Amino acid sequence: MTGSALLIHHDKAMNYHFHDSHPFHPLRLRLTLDLLAEAGALAPTAMLTSRPATEEELLQVHQPAYIEAVKALSTNPGPDWLERAAQYGLDDDDTPFFPGMHEAAAYVAGGSITACEAVMSGRCDHALHLGGGLHHALSAKAAGFCVYNDVSVAIAYVRQRYQARVLYIDTDVHHGDGVQWSFYSDPEVCTYSIHETGKYLFPGTGFVQERGEHQGYGTCVNIPLQPYTEDASWMECFEQSILRLTEYFKPDLIISQHGCDAHALDPLSHMQCSMAIYNEMPAIIHSLAHTYCSGRWVAVGGGGYDIWRVVPRAWSLLWLEMTDHPLKRSLEQRPRTRLPQTWIERWQEQSSVSLPAEWLDDLTHWEGIPRRAEITAKNRESLAVALQDFPEI
C-alpha cells in the first residue's frame, strides 16, 4: 500500500497544558516528533501547519454558552465565572481550566479540521494529527481531559462541506463517548470504539447495547473488553469486528483515534497489551482505507499516560505505517530493532524510568495472566453480541 501522507502540527497546540503534574502532558508530542526525526522518518516537507477552529466550526458541536464559558475561564475569570466552572466540567482534577485554554483547544480542533481538509481536498491520501483525539468532551461540558471535541468538530466539518460518509474508529482504552453522542442518530456517521469495559473504567459507557438511535440505529458499535485483556484477544476482537463493520458501512473517509493507553504500563487502565497492538491496528486500518475509501484516512492521537516508554513508540509506529516507511516493514523481519540511541540519550536524564531500547516489547519476560481463558471467552461473548446485526464477510 502506498499513499501520500502529511503530519499536521502547530506549536500553539502544545499550550494545551493543564499543569506540570497533570497526566495529559504535551511533552508526549515533543517526544514523538523527536523520535521520528531521529529515526529519519519525518521530512520537513511532510509537515503541514494547522490553524485554529473558528467559533462557527466549534458551534457545529458545542453549545454557545459552553464556548462562552471556556473563553471566560481562559483569561482572569471573575468570581461569577469561578462559581459556574463546575457547571461546565472545568473545575475538577481531570479537566481544570487554565490560562489560554480556549486558544489552545481551538488549535487542537483546528488541527483535526486541517487534517480532514487535506485528505478530502485531495492534497494527500493520509493525514496524522497527534494533538487531536479529545473524544470525551460533550456539547456543553468538558470531561476526561477534553475541552473541545476536536474529532466531532472535524467530522461535522466533513459532513457539512463534503457530505461524506465517515467511519470513526476509536482504539483508546477509554470509550469514545463524546464522539458517539455527537452522532448517535446520524446514519451517515458510524462510530466504533474498542475499549476496557465501562464497568470498571471512565467514562462508564460504551456497552454493546449502545447501538445508536432513530435513523442512526446500527451505526454505533462498541466492543467492551475485560480488564487484563492481552494482545491476542484484543486483536481478535478488533480485527473481526472492524473488518465486518467497514464492509457493511462502506465509508468515504476513515477517521481513527489512537489513544495508546491499553498498554500494560499505562497507569490509568487495567489492560495487559503490548506494543504489538499499536503495530498491528494501524496496518489493518490502512488496508481498509485503501479498500473502501480510495486511501482517505485521517488519524489523531488521544490518551496514553506512560509518556516515556509507550506513547512515543506507539504514535511513531502509526506514522511509519501511514507513510509505508521501510523501518515499519523491517520490523516484520527484525522485531528486536533498536530505537535510535541519540533519542534515548537525549531524554533519559529527564525520565524517571528507563527508556525502552527497542521499538517493540520483548514479551519473553512478561508474566502470563492466570484468567486468560476466562477473559478471552467473555471478550468473545461481547464480540458476538456487538456483531449480531452485521453479515459475515
By annotation, the residues acting in catalysis are 136
Instruction: For 267-315, list the strands marked E by DSSP.
Output: 297-300
Cα–Cα nearest to 73, from 104, 108, 98, 105: 98
Q: Classify burial at 310, counting beta carbons within 10 Å of its beta carbon; exposed 0-12, middle 13-18, buried 19 or more.
A: buried
**CB distance 5 to 124 below 8 Å:** yes
Burial letters 166-202, b for 16+ CB under 10 A, else e: bbbbbbbbbbbbbbbbbbbebebbbbbbbbbbbeebb
Enumerate residues 6+ apart whose C-beta is below 8 A from 338.
357, 358, 359
* Rounded-to-integer distance, Cα 325 and Cα 331, Å: 11
**CB distance 68 to 85 below 8 Å:** no
Amino acid at site 89: G
Rounded to 5 degrees, φ, ψ at 61 are: -125, -40
**CB distance 159 to 116 below 8 Å:** no
Rounded to 5 degrees, φ, ψ at 30 are: -65, -40
User: DSSP labels for 336-368?
Assistant: TPBPPHHHHHHHGGG-SSPPPSBSS--GGGPPP
* Rounded-to-integer distance, Cα 314 and Cα 3, Å: 20
Alpha-carbon torsion (359, 364, 369, 373), positive or negative: positive
| Cell digits of residue 140 | 456543553
| Cell digits of residue 217 | 440505529
